[in-house]
A and B are shown apart, each in its own frame.
Chain A
Amino acid sequence: MAYTTIFQPTSRIYQYDLLQNEMNRLFDNFFGSQRRTRGSGVFPALNVYQDSDNIYVTAELPGIDVNDLEINVEGDTLHVKGVRKLPETDKNVRYHRQERGSGQFSRTIHLPFPVNTEKVSAEMKLGVLTISMPKADEAKPRKINIKTA
């Protein structure tokens, strides 16, 4: 049969894929510092920042009601889940474009340090969520005094 070969992993298409992946990897490494982040297929995208006392996690969640959002922290694991509801439109509207997504989402990330779960706070501003988590005492930087003999 003519089409069976296509499904074999040794087919030319598959090999081309492997080659392309390899090329992408090389380019990614080479241009790593200049490349912009691309859509990762997960929602929401998270950025993580730190200063000496806190870890901050931010996410762009425009139009999401804080009541539809649930944030859990356990030790060094952060869970963010929720739902984005778009207001219902009348049945007789005609769409020209529909690019904005809706539905449920859930993310779990491991934080680089344990955090003080009692003092985690979150703020939604202009559609951007910021979760502030104080580092646990053992994760804070410590100044070490050097004794002179």
Chain B
Amino acid sequence: MAEKELSVDKKEIKNSQEFTREGPVFNPEVDIYENDNELILVADLPGVEKEDLDIDLNESTLTINAHVKLATKGTLLYKEYDIGDYKRSFTLSNVVDQSKIQAELKNGILRMVLPKAETAKPRKIEIRT
């Protein structure tokens, strides 16, 4: 697949359920791909600390909730981007073995590995002659 160009396009969530905390909430950009054994989800979450990241799996809905602490010093002179929390949900099919999901957060990037359930793995069927 062709690589995507770098751009700044933080997508703010609008017209959805309201949040108790004031301020913008963004949909993080994600890559999702699969191989034979697992589904990989990679999300850009700049400014998110491990303890402020909450990944919730309810039934088959995977929700990423991340809070960004404002850490800037001084007063704002010039602004090109907004800072806010992140939230995004995905519906997982039962192809994923939900008990074995792993997540890692490093340098503002969340990487989740969602192993496929045994029944969903491709099987080669031998044809007898």
Contact = CB atoms under 8 A, between A and B. Distances in A.
Interface residues of A, number: 49
A136 to B, nearest CB: 16
Interface stretch (A11-19, A34-42, A114-122): A34-42
B72 A103 contact: no
Contacts, number: 151
A37 B80 CA distance: 6
Nearest to B36: A92
Contacts of A40: 8, 80
14 contacts: A50-B77, A51-B74, A51-B75, A55-B77, A62-B44, A89-B33, A92-B36, A99-B29, A99-B30, A125-B71, A126-B48, A127-B45, A127-B47, A130-B72
Given A46-B81, A49-B72, A93-B33, 15 more contacts: A36-B82, A42-B80, A43-B8, A46-B78, A49-B77, A62-B46, A62-B109, A84-B6, A93-B40, A94-B34, A100-B30, A100-B31, A124-B107, A126-B107, A127-B107
Interface of B: 1, 3-10, 12, 24, 29-36, 39-40, 42, 44-49, 71-83, 107-109
Interface of A: 36-37, 39-51, 54-56, 58, 60-64, 84, 86, 89-90, 92-105, 112, 124-128, 130
